[in-house]
Amino acid sequence: MPRPALCAGVLRPLRRAGTSALTLTLAALLASPPAPAAEPAPTTAQATAPNTAAALPEPVRQALARAQVPPNALSVWVQAVDAEQPRLAWGAQQPLNPASLFKLVTTLAALELLGPHYTWRTPV
């Protein structure tokens, strides 16, 4: 089945953007030190304290600077499933809308795989 022109022209930049977002997330995960096991939970004052750019791993700060994205424009939470404390909590108390980038990638992947005339069936 041939790809729609929109999908072919838009999917490649979105794949690049998705790869960049994934790289940024992995850089944050890999560059952050593991959380100490016996560290107490942060106090309310610590949890709501403003972030500083120095708290973000250097590769993440560099990627944000290249993309001209201010550090306070994102929120990052990196925590191992079996850990009690996060490895990185950046902007954790700052309310933000969820990122739509992966919804776009998922939608375009579905469009490419299923075609533009596919109809989702939802039983009621």
Reduced 3-state DSSP string for 42-82: CCHHHHHCCCCHHHCCHHHHHHHHHCCCCHHHCCEEECCCC
pLDDT score at 76? 85
Residue 77 bridge partners (DSSP): 89
| Per-residue confidence (pLDDT) for residue 27, from 0 to 100 | 61
For 60-104, write each residue's pLDDT tens digit. Answer: 899 999 999 998 888 888 888 899 998 888 888 888 776 766 788
Tokens of 6: 């929109």
- Give the span between the Cα atoms of 99 and 81, in whole angstroms: 22
Residue 59 CB burial class (10 angstroms; 0-12, 13-18, ≥19)? middle
* Residues whose CB is less than 8 angstroms from the CB of residue 94 and which lie 6 or more positions away in sequence, other chains included: 72, 75
Q: Which amino acid is at 15?
A: R
pTM: 0.39
Amino acid at 37: A
